[in-house]
Amino acid sequence: MGMFGILDISAAGMDVQQARLEAAAANLANAQTTGQAGAVYQPLTVIVHSILGKHNGVASSDSLSAESLPRPAVSGTAQLDVPPRLVYDPGHPDADARGFVTMPGVDPISSMLDLISISRSYEANLRAFDVTRTLMQRTLDMGNHR
């Protein structure tokens, strides 16, 4: 990949933040759903691991190249094991015998904090990408100002 390997690292970071954003959006979108027959939406979380590059091993300082650096990757999504909220609403078709409706245990405050964290992390990756691109551009312009 050569000179563009470093851009791939930023792309991998943005991929991860996008997956986190999708999970957070799904959690917020499903927050007001009701559970039918005990089955209720479980909030999702994204599991991210750092995987090593092609050269398979910790990059030594003398052969430090963008391809050998570890990069983040989404390993999968998992359902958070949180208890559902019980809302008293006896007239609701999904209400149980005692008049309670089960709703997902999505915490709006921590969801908002997640969104802020995702947004900032994505911006950080964008910034790294921008700096790389600007430096490449400045290098190409080298010697043009005679």
Partner 1 sequence: MSVEAIATVAAQQPVLPDGMTGIEQATGPSFETVLGGLESLNAQLLNSQNATMKLASAQAPESLHHTVIGMEQTRLSFELMLAVRNKTLDAYQELMRMQV
15 contacts partner 1 (rule: CB under 8 A):
yes
What the block records as the tokens of 11 is 């792309």
Instruction: Report the residue number, 2 or 83, with the smaller CB distance to partner 1.
Output: 2
Among 67, 72, 136, 145, indicate the residue that binds partner 1 (CB under 8 A): 136
Instruction: Report the residue number, 22 or 89, with the smaller CB distance to partner 1.
Output: 22
Q: Residue 41's CB: how many other CB atoms inside 10 A?
A: 21
87 contacts partner 1 (rule: CB under 8 A):
no
Please name the amino acid found at residue 146: R
- Which 57-86 residues touch partner 1, going by CB under 8 A? none
CA dist 133 and 1 (Å) reads 15
137 contacts partner 1 (rule: CB under 8 A):
yes
- Where are the extended beta strands (E) located within 52-129? 71-79, 85-88, 100-103
CA dist 105 and 93 (Å) reads 20
Binding site for partner 1 (CB under 8 A): 4, 7, 10-11, 14-15, 18, 129, 133, 136-137, 140-141, 144
